[in-house]
Structure 1
């Protein structure tokens, strides 16, 4: 497979997944504000921090109001991480490989992009909860169409790898923001507001019902363990890394537990660390520090994938 094609499939899936995750963050925050006790200050700045774009937002918008943050993260074409920019990039990647992907995949990503563009042009009638629900459903539909209509060959595995690495990164980011920044003060720990925010976090990952099936109480350590270490929940960091590593080995043909390039080595080491890590060890080293390290390592895996498969190398 040409590296250009593999790169486009990889980023097509990363961008669609990123758009979905941004919709999840915003919609969860909207629902949290509706559920919070009267008088609790609305907190929108942590959402911008989640995407890593806080300095850019502050320079262009100033105050982190609901209107400013939703505009910046949803419809701002100059923000590379906004929903509309992610889908524009996804659509361009899909356009460049139309002969490789199925026609149904192209139609879905095209429909997805124009749905968001129409919402951007008709903001006078914009309904956040309905719109963000549609974004999540459109992303799920794209993933389902890809699984059902594209041959599960190298290209499909590159797409899977991109999707799961993006999902692992965003799960780590939203969990870090909640634990480290979102709660107003220490005195609120254990209160109704604290529980509502942890519930909002679970809902942003579509994890609330699945968490309740295995845990009776909502506790910070319980939520962290579920979203970091659970082997079976499809949005936990550990599950995502397991699936990404599986696809990577299918691409290279090497046996699980071995490595033949830096991408396999870095991803396998990160996944194996989570295999033998307990929530008690995570709490002891500091949840923020652990999540920050996970984000850095996931970023490193992405760089290694680029260098191994996509980078243009000089001919010797």
Structure 2
């Protein structure tokens, strides 16, 4: 597969999941402010912008400013609008590899999203973004051959999901300005799955453990990291390596996954904010290793009448 096609598929997966994850993070803030009249809007908004999403922010933020930065700002690839735009641009570059249904799903999403208002993010904006991301992922899984192209798309999706769930978990782990765990569970689409697994007993530690460590819930950090490792193994089956792991991306993901899997649950929960930062760092390191191995790092070859530039 051409490296430019592989890179586009990888980023389609990431940007689609980023639109979904950003919608969930903003929805956590929206629900927190609605359900708790005493919540400090400035503190919670600053926490989301600067601490959770890592945006440089001076001054006292409001939910309206969060909406502008994380929902409607096309120049910000971390916003929903920026993510949909980038996903469509990558889909155009990989048009010959995508199924017709997948291209139409991404293209239609971008054009319909532009028809929404650009004021303050509402439940309609955020739920629609989540539904379209789920639709696009479902179309990809059901209409593409599960070959290398699909592996790259799911790899990008899984890395982004691990990162975004880690950020969502961090909102619940914040001592000040954080959201209640019930809100975080709902925004992850995990409320019913969690209640079934815990027989209806809700506690903060159990909710955090579920979102981080559950082996069967597809949005848990552990599940997403494991899925990314499986896609990397499918893309490059390891030879008989008797010492270590040569694939740097798999090594980064394996280290953080095992640090979650083989530590006691209590240790993970007690160290939750720092552990989620390590997850985000591992995802970034893995993404850079994937880019260095599979994607074109130099300028594109240009053909002229005098030869190749």
Question: What's the TM-score once normalised by structure 1's chain length?
Answer: 0.86
Query: Could you list the runs of 5+ residues in structure 1 that have no partner in the other structure?
Result: 185-195
Quote how far apart the aligned CAs of 1:203 are.
1.0
Q: Name the counterpart of 1:191.
A: none
Residues 279, 273 of structure 1: alpha-carbon distance in 2 compared, 3 angstrom cutoff: same
Are 1:31 and 2:31 matched, yes or no?
yes
**Residues paired across the two proteins, number:** 293
Q: Name the counterpart of 1:22.
A: 22
Quote how far apart the aligned CAs of 1:313 are.
6.5
Conserved in 2, the CA contact under 8 Å of 1:12 and 1:90?
yes
Quote how far apart the aligned CAs of 1:305 are.
1.1
Q: Name the counterpart of 2:278.
A: 293
Are 1:245 and 2:229 matched, yes or no?
yes
1:158 to 143, 152, 155: 152
Are 1:99 and 2:84 matched, yes or no?
no
Map residues 110-189 of structure 1 onto 2, 5 A cutoff.
Answer: 110-119=107-116, 122-123=117-118, 128-183=122-177
Q: Distance in 1 between matches of 2:259 and 2:60?
A: 40
Q: Distance in 1 between matches of 2:21 and 2:89?
A: 20
Conserved in 1, the CA contact under 8 Å of 2:22 and 2:80?
yes
Q: Distance in 2 between matches of 1:267 and 1:68?
A: 34
Residues 313, 88 of structure 1: alpha-carbon distance in 2 compared, 3 angstrom cutoff: closer
Q: Distance in 2 between matches of 1:99 and 1:256?
A: 35
Q: Distance in 2 between matches of 1:302 and 1:127?
A: 30
Quote how far apart the aligned CAs of 1:264 are.
2.2
Conserved in 1, the CA contact under 8 Å of 2:10 and 2:155?
yes
Conserved in 2, the CA contact under 8 Å of 1:21 and 1:170?
yes
Quote how far apart the aligned CAs of 1:180 are.
2.4
Alpha-carbon deviations, 1:235-265, whole Å to 9, x = none? Answer: 0010001111111111112279973421222
Query: Alignment partner of 1:232: what SS?
Result: coil
Conserved in 1, the CA contact under 8 Å of 2:74 and 2:81?
yes
Map residues 249-264 of structure 1 onto 2, 5 A cutoff.
Answer: 249-254=233-238, 259-264=245-250
Question: What's the TM-score once normalised by structure 2's chain length?
Answer: 0.88
Conserved in 2, the CA contact under 8 Å of 1:165 and 1:240?
yes
Residues 256, 247 of structure 1: alpha-carbon distance in 2 compared, 3 angstrom cutoff: farther
Query: Alignment partner of 1:235: what SS?
Result: coil
Quote how far apart the aligned CAs of 1:219 are.
2.2
Conserved in 2, the CA contact under 8 Å of 1:262 and 1:308?
no
Q: Distance in 2 between matches of 1:86 and 1:147?
A: 20
Quote how far apart the aligned CAs of 1:31 are.
2.1
Conserved in 1, the CA contact under 8 Å of 2:218 and 2:224?
yes
Q: Distance in 1 between matches of 2:121 and 2:208?
A: 31
Q: Name the counterpart of 2:74.
A: 77
Q: Name the counterpart of 2:306.
A: none
Alpha-carbon deviations, 1:133-188, whole Å to 9, x = none? Answer: 1111100000011011111100100111100110101111121233125447xxxx
Residues 276, 108 of structure 1: alpha-carbon distance in 2 compared, 3 angstrom cutoff: same
Q: Distance in 2 between matches of 1:181 and 1:280?
A: 17
Q: Distance in 1 between matches of 2:75 and 2:297?
A: 28
Conserved in 2, the CA contact under 8 Å of 1:249 and 1:255?
no
The alignment's C-alpha RMSD in Å is 2.2
